[in-house]
């Protein structure tokens, strides 16, 4: 069964969203580096690479379905934050936004009875659950620590192990 034009266009929009995510996290990594938080910088750089993989997975899927891939412009990301907590809160909110986008893709695939796309999207549904969980648990730790620099450096060291 041929994939619909509306599904192809929605997946191309999501490819852009994934590259935008990648750039947001790459910019966060640069911010953390400038703040001397190398562990968090490392964590965000890994996240950047994951987002590129998410985009590539969608690209490969469109190729598999014989559809046209449009390589998007990437939006300039915010490049400064007040502190680590603000950056991770932004990351968590961003992941919630991405989850809502993935759910809309699922809704579209369901409404079109596009079972192949539904099956492909299940991976992203699971991945979003993990991404929200990862970012929200770091937010909770940082909220608990407040301005406790020693604690923040301990979290930084923990995140360098990712």
139 lies in the site for ligand OFO, by CB under 6 A: no
In terms of Cα–Cα distance, which of 4, 104, 123 is closest to 58? Answer: 123
Residue 160 CA, chain-centre distance (Å), reads 19
Minimum gap (Å) between residue 51 Cβ and ligand OFO:
5
Nearest residue to the partner ligand OFO, using Cβ = 21
Binding of ligand OFO at residue 51 (CB under 6 A)?
yes
18/156 with CB nearer ligand OFO: 18
Residues with Cβ < 8 Å from 109, sequence gap 6 or more? 7, 115, 117, 118, 121
For 79, phi and psi rounded to 5 degrees? Answer: -120, 10
In the complex, the smallest distance separating the C-beta of residue 18 from ligand OFO, rounded to whole angstroms, is 5
Helix (H) or strand (E) holding 106: helix 84-111
Encode burial over 89-114: b for 16+ CB neighbours within 10 A, e otherwise: bbbbebbeebbeebeebeebbeeeeb
Binding residues for ligand OFO, total number by CB under 6 A:
7
Work out which of 15, 31, 95, 108 binds ligand OFO, going by CB under 6 A: 95
Q: 71-90 mask for ligand OFO (x: CB under 6 A)?
A: --------------------
Does the protein bind ligand OFO through residue 131 (CB under 6 A)?
yes
Site residues, ligand OFO (CB under 6 A)? 18, 21, 51, 54, 95, 98, 131
């Amino acid at each position: 069964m041929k994939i619909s034009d509306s599904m192809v266009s929605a997946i191309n929009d999501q490819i852009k969203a994934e590259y935008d995510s990648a750039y947001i996290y790459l910019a966060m990594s640069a911010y953390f580096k400038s703040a001397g938080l190398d562990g968090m910088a490392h964590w965000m750089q890994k996240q950047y690479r994951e987002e590129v993989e998410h985009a590539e997975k969608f690209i490969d899927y469109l190729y598999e379905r014989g559809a046209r891939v449009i390589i998007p412009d990437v939006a300039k990301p915010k490049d400064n934050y007040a502190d680590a907590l603000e950056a991770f809160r932004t990351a968590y909110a961003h992941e919630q936004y991405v989850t809502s986008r993935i759910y809309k893709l699922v809704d579209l695939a369901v409404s079109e009875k596009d079972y192949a796309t539904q099956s492909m999207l299940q991976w992203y549904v699971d991945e979003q659950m993990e991404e929200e969980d990862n970012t929200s648990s770091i937010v909770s730790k940082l909220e608990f620590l407040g301005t406790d620099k020693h604690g923040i450096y301990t979290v930084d060291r923990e995140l360098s192990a990712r």
